[in-house]
A and B are shown apart, each in its own frame.
Chain A
Amino acid sequence: MHYYEEDDLERFGEIGKHRPDLFEKFMAWYDAVQQDGALSRREKALIGLAVAHALQCPYCIDAYAKACLEAGSNMEQMTEAIHMASAIRGGAALIHGIQAHNAVNKVSM
């Protein structure tokens, strides 16, 4: 038994057991977001994969890795998307170094 069970992804609909009205609204929005628009489904799946990694959500990583394959992406493209997420996460951590500099400067002579 792990905290994350692969089969639980298929049970997502059970969230709608309580306040189904809210879940239905969420699903309608979620489905609409996935459709081809100014961005293609393939681009959106790659964004989904990148965000899934930034959030480190195992369900989302599983779902969007497959979504990327089914949208025609390959591992080179998917890996670049993952690096984008990682680089921004890394950069986001690093830029906070300025906060540390500021804090240190404030109390230093």
Chain B
Amino acid sequence: MSLPVLSIKSFEDSLAAHGHSELRAGGLTTLQVNVGKVCNQACKHCHVDAGPNRKESMTEETVEQVLTAVRRFRIPTVDITGGAPELNPHFEYLVIESRKAGARVLVRHNLTVQFVEGKTHLAEFFREHRVEVIASLPYFLAQQTDAQRGAGVFDKSLIALRQLNEVGFGLEETGLLLNLVYNPVGAFLPPNQAGIERDFKRELLTRYGVAFNHLYTITNMPISRFLDYLRRSGNYERYMQKLVASFNPATVEGLMCRDLISVSWDGRLYDCDFNQMIELPLVNGLPQTISEFDLAALIGRRINTANHCYGCTAGAGSSCGGATAS
């Protein structure tokens, strides 16, 4: 989906104004694998437009091509996302084989998928394979969480978090990492990451007895379902103006596209998961599919940008690992 016409300074112009004539990747440390758009939830801010009615799901053949790249190029980190990635039939195979290849494996986990039939063992599976769990929880109260993620999601999420705690996730002494993701529940920017992490730790522990390691603040991207919300609610123009006005050149160095590559359910390569969703491909001349994956060609590549990229440079910055600048 393309953005509606809006008179704002282009992202490229903002970069250029701060001495970045073009955005280039550094090394490539993370392969982010979007295994499909199937999800048991349909969150209002979802940039994937994921949901229970989606059918797109990575095939076994494409999973094998991903694993070939992971093994051949010794990719340090495999970051598995979706949809609810656990609903892909080859998810566990991808995790197990990536771990065998020596990769650190992150799974972007919506928590409630633990209640889907056949998925109740996930906490134990994550523990067994020492997966780093990155779980979505936009707020420590039910009203905000349910407003974004659906009725009853908060209560289920708490049960799922307790199950993860019970097998050792989120507890300092185990080394099993459980990191949470905060997304604003509406058309505003995230708060200071360290401050809201303190609030989450205090409130989740005292109200619900839940522990976790770190909180990542992520800005909602003006694409897909969140873009629909912005337009419907009359917030689009102000939100974009806010993102542009909040452009922080200190975030450019740490932009996640500079050290990751994103692969879609159908095996195509993108600079990030957001570019993937708006089908903004890698620039011409680069490998375009996972079967053509070539580390040397992708390192230092020119990154394809558009105005949604302002979402990653606003304020303290935003990435799949949270804020990128203080």
Residues of A within 8 A of B (CB): 40-42, 66, 69-72, 74-76
Say which residue of B143, B186, B199 sits within 8 Å of A72 (CB atoms): B199
Contact assessment for B196 and A72 in the assembled complex, using a CB-CB cutoff below 8 Å: yes
Query: What are the residues of chain A within 8 A of B199 when measuring CB–CB?
Result: 72
Whole-angstrom distance from the CB of B155 to the nearest CB of chain A?
17
Evaluate whether A75 and B143 lie within 8 angstroms (CB atoms) in the complex, with A40-B195, A42-B195 already known: yes
Within 8 A of A (CB), among B137-154: 139, 141, 143-144
Residues of B within 8 A of A (CB): 139, 141, 143-144, 184, 186, 188-192, 195-196, 199
Contact assessment for B143 and A69 in the assembled complex, using a CB-CB cutoff below 8 Å: no
Main secondary structure of the interface of B (DSSP, over half): loop
Chain B residue nearest to A66 in the complex (CB): B188
Evaluate whether A74 and B188 lie within 8 angstroms (CB atoms) in the complex, with A40-B195, A42-B195 already known: no
Contact assessment for A74 and B189 in the assembled complex, using a CB-CB cutoff below 8 Å: no
Contact assessment for A72 and B192 in the assembled complex, using a CB-CB cutoff below 8 Å: yes
Contact assessment for B192 and A41 in the assembled complex, using a CB-CB cutoff below 8 Å: yes
Instruction: Give the docked Cα–Cα distance between A100 and B188 (Å).
Output: 47
Query: What are the residues of chain B within 8 A of A76 when measuring CB–CB?
Result: 141
Please name 28 pairs of A and B residues whose Cβ atoms are closer than 8 Å in the assembled complex, sorted by A: A40-B195, A41-B192, A41-B195, A42-B191, A42-B195, A66-B188, A69-B184, A69-B186, A69-B188, A70-B184, A70-B188, A70-B189, A70-B190, A70-B191, A71-B191, A71-B192, A71-B195, A72-B191, A72-B192, A72-B195, A72-B196, A72-B199, A74-B139, A74-B141, A74-B143, A74-B144, A75-B143, A76-B141
Whole-angstrom distance from the CB of B245 to the nearest CB of chain A?
10
Query: What are the residues of chain A within 8 A of B139 when measuring CB–CB?
Result: 74
Instruction: Give the docked Cα–Cα distance between A70 and B186 (Å).
Output: 10
Query: What are the residues of chain A within 8 A of B144 when measuring CB–CB?
Result: 74
Query: What are the residues of chain B within 8 A of A42 when measuring CB–CB?
Result: 191, 195
Chain A residue nearest to B217 in the complex (CB): A72
- Most chain A CB within 10 A, of B184, B190, B192, is at B192
- Most chain B CB within 10 A, of A40, A41, A66, is at A66
Instruction: Give the docked Cα–Cα distance between A70 and B199 (Å).
Output: 14
Query: What are the residues of chain A within 8 A of B186 when measuring CB–CB?
Result: 69
Query: What are the residues of chain B within 8 A of A66 when measuring CB–CB?
Result: 188
Instruction: Give the docked Cα–Cα distance between A69 and B185 (Å).
Output: 9
Query: What are the residues of chain B within 8 A of A69 when measuring CB–CB?
Result: 184, 186, 188
Instruction: Give the docked Cα–Cα distance between A41 and B188 (Å).
Output: 16
Chain A residue nearest to B197 in the complex (CB): A72
Instruction: Give the docked Cα–Cα distance between A75 and B192 (Å).
Output: 18
Instruction: Give the docked Cα–Cα distance between A40 and B198 (Å).
Output: 12
Chain B residue nearest to A72 in the complex (CB): B191
Whole-angstrom distance from the CB of B142 to the nearest CB of chain A?
11
Whole-angstrom distance from the CB of B3 to the nearest CB of chain A?
21
Instruction: Give the docked Cα–Cα distance between A66 and B241 (Å).
Output: 15
Instruction: Give the docked Cα–Cα distance between A71 and B141 (Å).
Output: 16
Instruction: Give the docked Cα–Cα distance between A42 and B199 (Å).
Output: 11
Query: What are the residues of chain A within 8 A of B143 when measuring CB–CB?
Result: 74-75
